[in-house]
Amino acid sequence: MNRQRISRRVFIRRSAGAAGATLAATPALLSSARVSAREATTGPQGTSSGLESAECPATRLQKASKAYNPRYEGARWHLIYGSYTGAEEFALNELQKMTQRYVPYVMEVRSAREPVNHDANLLVVGTGVNNPLIAGIASKGAFELPTKPESYTTVCLRSPWNKERRIVVVAGADSSGTLYGAIDFNKRLASLTSDDPTRTRETLDNLGEFSAAESPALENRGIWSWGYVIYDYRRFFDNMARLKLNRLLFWNDIPPLNCRQVIDYAHSRGVKVVLGFPWGWGIENLNPKSSEDRWLVKDDVLCRVATSYEHLGMDAIYFQTFTETSNKEIGGTPIAVLARNWVNDIAGAVLSRYPTLHIEWGLHATSILDNYKVLESLDPRVEIVWEDAGVIPYSYDPVPTISEDGHHNPLDSVDATIEYSKKLATVRPHNGFAMVAKGWTTLRWGTEFEHPGPFIMGERAPSFIEERLRERQPRWDYVNSLWLVNYPHALRFLQQVRDFSTVKMTVLALIEDGLFEEKIQPSAALFAEMLWNPRRSANQLLELAMSPYYARIL
């Protein structure tokens, strides 16, 4: 049987109808060189022609577009980036999201390794290593490259290539510094926005010259929470990054099923993750003086690390024991002594198997008080994270004094709280000083709390999150007002303890079930600003915490 030969036009008419036939009759725009993309970049025997890393040659389509007149007149802004991975990917996204609000055109975003249009205003972001434009401008003395971890420099100046144009540089010492510099610029831009929407573009186009260099005063700044009340972990970490927070400690009886994904996402936002679980905390009828009870807990801890934690890639593990009490002794023995011996034994066993594992111990000062010097003989590889060591910023309500039904509290003043924390910082100075601040939202222990089994963390429905925030907002309204009144006390605490302690300092804010992923509350933003730089004035910190950036970007 002979196969009937048909034309391309007939074939298309039969398969695609009249519209297809009309299309087939249309002259091909690129008919002068019908070469496939694969053929254009592949030579003989499949060898590369090198075109995949170069700009494509001009085509008839590109030539035809030369006559196109842009709809929006005036100089445009281009984003020039050094890296689009990890924290710097988020930095670039945040910059694009914010600056795009100010211009009617779609902003061009280009790699620093591509040719630069010097007739455009430039927003250049990255490090001196991954963005050659930043290194080149700095080499001419326009600014100094940042060097400290997480530090950054932001400047706005006349373009060195075109005095009619502006260039904004966001230069980080590392990926986190780049991200924090982007956040800083966004906050600056948001604060300058005109009340007249017709002048929005002018805000960016007429941006005045400035120069700022920042580095964190506290090395570790973060949040403490139970894991199951983090309802959207991606947005949670995004908001942490926007507040320049770099550490999340979340507690679970069992790690969530998606724990590795949670940790990976946190790292992409410059956030380290500490996983907490009990080493005797919450166990009824536990006898800390019993060697048998200690052996049972040690065996359980070793098993958990081996089966549930070793493979996760967390940055540290955290535990609590039996110190969450106002009692100072058990059976005539100081709790400080019992807890030290307990931790030395169990932590020693864990570290003998996992010598590089970083271990943190959550210790409640209410059961220790004047016995803190007992902890000088604690295993030096274990870091203490102090809780409940006085009034604001340790207390559940952010207040400068606490009444305890007529009982005397030796730490019932800001001055006493500061002096006691200085003592704690000197006990083991090689480990630094770490603490949990309180005064925000907590679990509803009496009506809702339970110990969840295996679960998926941070994948709840948006509608649930919105409704939950409405339920929890009254608590936020209460503590927000208290923080606005009392934050100078917390600021004085951080200033004095930071100046006293010359080693690493860690402060974690206890925010549980606070829907932090849905809304950055004023008191959370205020405390984050204090952690970044407590040496600013109280008014400066308040102004930064109330930045309209947080409302516009979310």
β-bridge pairing 152-158 and 166-172: antiparallel
Q: Which backbone phi and psi does 493 adopt, to 5 degrees?
A: -60, -50
User: pLDDT band for position 23 (50/70/90)?
Assistant: very low
pLDDT of 261 above 70: yes
β-bridge pairing 152-158 and 121-127: unpaired
- Residues 62-112 pLDDT 10s: 555 555 678 899 999 999 999 999 999 999 999 999 999 999 999 999 999
- Residues 276-288 pLDDT 10s: 999 999 888 899 9
End-to-end CA distance of the chain: 69
- Residues 396-418 pLDDT 10s: 999 999 765 555 678 999 999 99
- Residues 164-177 pLDDT 10s: 999 999 999 999 99
Q: Of 181, 214, 247, which marks where a domain is finished?
A: 214
**Residue among 175, 245, 252 at smallest CA distance from 520:** 245
What pLDDT does 43 receive?
A: 45
Same domain? For 210 and 242 the reply is no
What pLDDT does 302 receive?
A: 98
The mean pLDDT of 118-128, rounded to a whole number, is 97
DSSP assignment of 93-147 equals HHHHHHHGGG-SSPPEEEETTSPP-TTSEEEEEEETTT-HHHHHHHHTTSSPPP-
CATH of the domain at 434: 3.20.20.80
The mean pLDDT of 448-467, rounded to a whole number, is 94
What pLDDT does 60 receive?
A: 56
Same domain? For 198 and 260 the reply is no
Same domain? For 100 and 163 the reply is yes
Same domain? For 253 and 128 the reply is no
Residues spanned by the domain of 508 = 220-553
> Rounded distance, CA 463 to CA 231, Å?
11
Note whether residue 296 is domain-resident: yes
What pLDDT does 34 receive?
A: 43
Q: Of 160, 185, 214, which marks where a domain is finished?
A: 214
Same domain? For 204 and 226 the reply is no
> Rounded distance, CA 402 to CA 84, Å?
49
Helix axes 462-500, 538-545, angle to 10 degrees: 160
pLDDT of 548 above 70: yes
Count CA within 13 A, CB hemisphere, residue 374. Answer: 20
The mean pLDDT of 436-440, rounded to a whole number, is 98
User: pLDDT band for position 552 (50/70/90)?
Assistant: confident
Note whether residue 67 is domain-resident: no
42 class by beta-carbon count within 10 Å (0-12 exposed, 13-18 middle, 19+ buried): middle
What pLDDT does 178 receive?
A: 98
Count CA within 13 A, CB hemisphere, residue 46. Answer: 0
Q: Of 187, 214, 241, which marks where a domain is finished?
A: 214
What pLDDT does 68 receive?
A: 65
> Rounded distance, CA 155 to CA 208, Å?
10
CB 510 within 8 A of CB 224: yes
Note whether residue 304 is domain-resident: yes
Same domain? For 207 and 303 the reply is no
What pLDDT does 283 receive?
A: 86
- Residues 417-430 pLDDT 10s: 999 999 999 999 88
**Residue among 236, 230, 286 at smallest CA distance from 255:** 230
Peptide bond into 393 cis (omega under 30): yes
Tokens standing for residue 544: 């930064």
Note whether residue 519 is domain-resident: yes
The neighbour count for residue 293, using CB atoms within 10 Å, is: 16
CB 178 within 8 A of CB 152: yes
What pLDDT does 63 receive?
A: 52
Same domain? For 111 and 197 the reply is yes
Residue 270's region, left for phi above 0, alpha for psi from -120 to 50, else beta, is left
CB 494 within 8 A of CB 175: no
pLDDT of 17 above 60: no
Q: Which residue has the higher pLDDT, 44 or 144?
A: 144
- Element holding 500 (H helix, E strand): helix 462-500
Same domain? For 181 and 197 the reply is yes
User: pLDDT band for position 59 (50/70/90)?
Assistant: low
Same domain? For 148 and 246 the reply is no
Tokens standing for residue 183: 């956040």
> Rounded distance, CA 310 to CA 18, Å?
65
The mean pLDDT of 333-358, rounded to a whole number, is 98
pLDDT of 4 above 90: no
What pLDDT does 42 receive?
A: 45
- Residues 364-393 pLDDT 10s: 999 999 999 999 999 999 999 999 999 999
pLDDT of 156 above 80: yes
- Element holding 387 (H helix, E strand): strand 382-387
CATH of the domain at 196: 3.30.379.10
Same domain? For 203 and 224 the reply is no
Q: Provide the b/e sequence for 469-482 (b: ≥16 CB within 10 Å).
A: beebbeebeebbeb
pLDDT of 36 above 50: no
**Residue among 182, 89, 78 at smallest CA distance from 123:** 78
What pLDDT does 293 receive?
A: 96
Note whether residue 71 is domain-resident: no
> Rounded distance, CA 314 to CA 108, Å?
37
Note whether residue 27 is domain-resident: no
Same domain? For 210 and 225 the reply is no
Q: Which residue has the higher pLDDT, 144 or 550?
A: 144
Q: Provide the b/e sequence for 401-419 (b: ≥16 CB within 10 Å).
A: ebeeeeeeeebbbbeebbe
- Residues 215-260 pLDDT 10s: 999 999 999 999 999 999 999 999 999 999 999 999 999 999 999 9
What pLDDT does 58 receive?
A: 54
Q: Which backbone phi and psi does 333 adopt, to 5 degrees?
A: -110, 130
What pLDDT does 82 receive?
A: 98
The mean pLDDT of 22-27, rounded to a whole number, is 46
242 class by beta-carbon count within 10 Å (0-12 exposed, 13-18 middle, 19+ buried): buried
Least confident window among 343-347, 370-374, 404-408, 484-488 = 404-408
Number of domains in the chain: 2
> Rounded distance, CA 300 to CA 283, Å?
13
The mean pLDDT of 480-492, rounded to a whole number, is 97
Same domain? For 171 and 227 the reply is no
What pLDDT does 407 receive?
A: 56
Rounded to two decimals, the pTM is: 0.88
pLDDT of 149 above 50: yes
> Rounded distance, CA 216 to CA 7, Å?
72
Note whether residue 28 is domain-resident: no
Residue 272's region, left for phi above 0, alpha for psi from -120 to 50, else beta, is beta
pLDDT of 47 above 50: no
DSSP assignment of 212-234 equals EEE--SSSEEEEEEEGGG--BHH
3-state class percentages of the chain: helix first, strand second, coil last, to nearest 5 = 45, 15, 40
DSSP assignment of 236-277 equals HHHHHHHTT--EEEEE-SS--TTHHHHHHHHHTTT-EEEEE-
Distances (CA, A) of 362 to 236, 342, 527: 23, 13, 21
Note whether residue 359 is domain-resident: yes
What pLDDT does 65 receive?
A: 56
What pLDDT does 503 receive?
A: 86
